[in-house]
Every structure is written in structure tokens, then in C-alpha cells.
Amino acid sequence: MSSRRKRDINLPAPYLRRLWLDPSRVPDPEAYPFCLPFLRDEFSLSFDRAVTIIVGENGTGKSTLLEGIAVLAGYNEAGGGKGYMTVDHSMATEVMGGKLSAALRELVTEDHERMVFSRREFFLGCPLFGRSRTRSRTTGAGLPLAFARRRLSAVLRGALPAARHLYFDEPESALSPSRQMEFLKLLQMMDRSGHCQVIMATHSPVLMAYPNATLLRLSKYGLEPTTVEQTDHFKALREFFDDPKGFIEAAIGD
């Protein structure tokens, strides 16, 4: 381990303080992903909390944004951690972060270790657990939960540097509702440690309701702060729980 990796980190998270798009590095503003609404009008994003959660419908660009940040940090856009890669990148269906990262700039206030970029496709071939064992656990054991718990445990016992940066893209894809609650507890541990910064994209109202997070919504109008009650995800589930039968009949009716 190098001396830089052993150096104590004295500042609390967040370590990535600002992210912005450099227009001089955009090859074609009309091409994807630069045509996404949130990237127009001199895109800039500031981080003032240890946990940032991004929500939005499919196609709004939340995964692309997360990929861009992860690739900027040196990760493969299909997911993984330092020293880990997916076995089959064809499983990563949306990998545009490389193009976006080339035009992104970042302001980091403290030298820190980037920990992992986690997306569902990554765990289908993650060599951390072994390919066959990983496939057997994806639906029941919650690999994003197991992976993050293992790495955080190493941080807390001093086996890894204290200051860590984690990226999660839709971790609920492999988590049951009860395991999403476990993930929230783990997220709280990261937050309270003071040395972990988390940036997460999710469709889960349970995860986006984490109380100490900055919650941002991506829409056709761009990127804006929101509350869990204002999201379409929460509104749809509230209507469903109020009248499950009527909600389904209306949803599938002609």
C-alpha cells in the first residue's frame, strides 16, 4: 500500500464538491448523451452532503450521469471497484458514461480513495464472489448489500483507507423490501462514519427517503431538488396502496 493510501483524511465527506460540464470538451451538443436536458445551460452540480440520491424515469440520464462520474474517477462504466471488472460487458446495457466523463470536470477538496461503482450488471460476473456463486445470489441475497457491507467493514476495521467514495446505480434491483431496509442501515453507517461519500441513482421510494440525503430529480426540464413525496415513484405507489385492485385495473385497462 502506498504512502498516499495510508495518509489520514482529516476532512469529513463530501470530498467531491462540484461537478460541471466543460463546453470546450463536448464534441457534438446534439449527440447523446450531451443532448440530455440536464446537460444543457452550463450544467453544474454541487455536493454539500455525504449522501446524494438521484431519481428519474428511464431515459432521463440518471445512470449515464452516474456512469460519467464513476468513469471520471477511473472506473469501468460497466461497474466494479478498483481491481474488479465485469466478466461480460454485454450485460451492461447502458454504458455512455465514458463519452460524458471526457467532458466533465470535478472539484475534489481532499485526496481520497474511490471505492466502488455498483450496478446490477456488474454483479452477474463479479470476481469478488466468483461467477457461479454470484449468479446464485443475485435474486435472494442482495449482492449490492453484501458487497457494500464487506467493503465498509474493511474501512471501519482499518483494513482500507477511511475516506471512501461509493456509487450505486439502482441497488434495489437485487434487493427485496426487507433488504432495502438493511441497505438503509448500511447507508446510515456510511453517513455517520464521516468518511464515506455516496452518490446513488434509484427508483425505490424506500431508498430515496433516506432522511439525511440530498434528493435530486432528473426530468425533461433538467436536474432539480425534490422530496420523496413529490416524486412520481412515490405518487404511483401511494395510489396503488390506497386501492390496489382499482389501480391495476386502470393501469391495464383499454
Residue 142's pLDDT is: 53
Confirm whether 228 is domain-assigned. Answer: yes
**pLDDT higher than threshold 70 for residue 65:** yes
The confidence band for 88, taking pLDDT boundaries of 50, 70 and 90, is: very low
Is position 223 within any domain? yes
pLDDT tops 50 at residue 12: yes
Residue 6 domain-assigned (yes or no): no
Q: What percent of the chain has pLDDT over 90?
A: 35
Residue 77 has pLDDT above 50, yes or no: yes
- Total tally of structural domains belonging to the chain: 1
Dihedral-angle region of residue 250 (phi above 0 means left; psi in -120 to 50 means alpha; beta otherwise): alpha
Question: Is residue 82 one of the residues assigned to a domain?
Answer: yes
Q: Across the chain, what does the average pLDDT equal?
A: 77
On whether residue 175 sits in a domain, the answer given is yes
Query: Per-residue pLDDT for 106 more than 70?
Result: yes
The whole domain housing 207 covers: 12-252
Angle at 34 between CA 30 and CA 36, to 5 degrees: 95
Q: What pLDDT is recorded for position 10?
A: 63
Predicted local confidence at residue 200, as pLDDT: 92
Answer whether residue 7 is part of any domain: no
Tell whether 134 is covered by a domain. yes
Q: What is the pLDDT of residue 130?
A: 38
Over range 175-184, report the average pLDDT.
Answer: 88
